Amino acid sequence: MHLPYRSPYFRHFLDHILPSTTGLQQFQLAASAERILAEARAQRAYRTADVVRQIVAEVLPSSCGETPAAEQEILSGTDVCHDLRQLIEDLTDSAALSIDAAGEPVHTVEDLSQLFDVSTKTISRWRRQGLIGRKFLIDGRKRVGFLKSSVDRFVSCNRQRIERSGRFRQMTDREREQIVSGARRLSRSGHGMNDIANQLATELQRSPGTIRGAIKQFDQAHPEEAIFPVRGLPLSDDMRKAVFEQYRQGATVTRLAEKFSRSESSISRIVAQEQYRHIQDLPLDYVSHAGFARIKNSEAILGPMPETAETKKKSRVPSDLPSYLASLYEVPLLSREQEQHLFRKLNYAKYRAASLRAKLSESQPQVRWMDEIEALHQLATATKNQIVRANLRLVVSIAKRHVGPQENFFELVSDGNVSLIRAADKFDFSRGFKFSTYASWAIMKNFARSIPNEMKQRERFRTSHDELFAATEETRADWMGEELEHKNRISAVRKILSRLDDREQKIIIHRFGLDYSQEPSTLKQVGESMGVTKERVRQIESRALDKLRMAAEEDRIDPPAEG
CATH code, 418: 1.20.120.1810
- Mean pLDDT over residues 307-322, rounded? 63
**pLDDT of res. 560:** 41
The answer to whether residue 357 sits within a structural domain is yes
Residues 323 and 453 in one domain: yes
Distance CA 513, CA 526 (A): 12
pLDDT of residue 553 exceeding 80: no
CB 281 within 8 A of CB 310: no
The answer to whether residue 104 sits within a structural domain is yes
* Selection from 316-325, 340-349, 407-416 with the highest mean pLDDT: 340-349
pLDDT of residue 175 exceeding 80: yes
pLDDT category at 68 given cuts 50, 70, 90 is low
Give the 3-state secondary structure of residue 147: strand
For residues 70 and 303, which has the higher predicted lDDT (pLDDT)?
303
pLDDT of residue 65 exceeding 50: no
Residue finishing a domain among 468, 492, 524: 468
Residue finishing a domain among 115, 149, 167: 167
CB 456 within 8 A of CB 411: no
**Vertex 255, ends 253 and 261: CA angle to 5°?**
95
Residues 508 and 418 in one domain: no
The answer to whether residue 430 sits within a structural domain is yes
Among 157-166, 236-245, 422-431, the range scoring the smallest mean pLDDT is 157-166
- The per-residue pLDDT for range 5-20, each reduced to its tens digit, is 888 888 888 888 888 8
CB 215 within 8 A of CB 193: yes
pLDDT category at 420 given cuts 50, 70, 90 is very high
pLDDT of residue 162 exceeding 80: no
Distance CA 72, CA 69 (A): 9
The answer to whether residue 286 sits within a structural domain is no
**pLDDT of res. 450:** 65
Whole-model pTM over 0.75: no
% of the chain surpassing 90 pLDDT: 12
Backbone angles phi, psi at 392, to 5 degrees: -65, -35
For residues 189 and 90, which has the higher predicted lDDT (pLDDT)?
90
pLDDT category at 377 given cuts 50, 70, 90 is very high
**pLDDT of res. 14:** 86
The answer to whether residue 285 sits within a structural domain is no
Residues 455 and 367 in one domain: yes
pLDDT of residue 311 exceeding 80: no
Distance CA 55, CA 35 (A): 9
Strands (E), 251-387: none
Query: Would the CA dihedral through 112, 115, 119, 125 be positive or negative?
Result: negative
Residue finishing a domain among 130, 149, 167: 167
Residues 462 and 432 in one domain: yes
**pLDDT of res. 312:** 55
- The per-residue pLDDT for range 113-140, each reduced to its tens digit, is 877 777 788 888 888 888 888 888 887 8
Backbone angles phi, psi at 395, to 5 degrees: -60, -45
- Mean pLDDT over residues 72-87, rounded? 86
pLDDT category at 232 given cuts 50, 70, 90 is low
- Mean pLDDT over residues 39-53, rounded? 87
Give the 3-state secondary structure of residue 336: helix
Q: How far is CA 504 from CA 77, 118, 511, in A?
A: 67, 42, 11
- The per-residue pLDDT for range 265-291, each reduced to its tens digit, is 888 988 999 999 999 999 999 998 888
**pLDDT of res. 264:** 86
Distance CA 65, CA 421 (A): 101
**pLDDT of res. 446:** 79
For residues 561 and 145, which has the higher predicted lDDT (pLDDT)?
145
Residues 426 and 506 in one domain: no
The answer to whether residue 355 sits within a structural domain is yes
Give the CATH number of the domain where residue 515 resides: 1.10.10.10
For residues 419 and 207, which has the higher predicted lDDT (pLDDT)?
419
**pLDDT of res. 376:** 94
**pLDDT of res. 555:** 65
Residues 34 and 162 in one domain: yes
Residues 272 and 182 in one domain: yes
Q: CB within 8 A of 295, min separation 6: which ones? A: 301, 348
pLDDT of residue 23 exceeding 60: yes
Looking at every residue in the chain, the average pLDDT score rounds to 79
Residues 135 and 50 in one domain: yes
Residues 401 and 532 in one domain: no
pLDDT of residue 184 exceeding 60: yes
For residues 297 and 372, which has the higher predicted lDDT (pLDDT)?
372
Residues 540 and 404 in one domain: no
Distance CA 49, CA 236 (A): 60
The answer to whether residue 287 sits within a structural domain is no
DSSP 8-class letter at 232: T
pLDDT category at 561 given cuts 50, 70, 90 is very low
Residues 330 and 273 in one domain: no
- Mean pLDDT over residues 384-395, rounded? 90
Among 314-328, 405-419, 513-527, the range scoring the smallest mean pLDDT is 314-328
For residues 562 and 412, which has the higher predicted lDDT (pLDDT)?
412
- Mean pLDDT over residues 167-172, rounded? 58
* Domain containing residue 44: 8-167
Residues 148 and 200 in one domain: no
pLDDT of residue 373 exceeding 90: yes
- Mean pLDDT over residues 437-446, rounded? 86
In total, how many domains does the chain have? Answer: 4
The answer to whether residue 298 sits within a structural domain is no
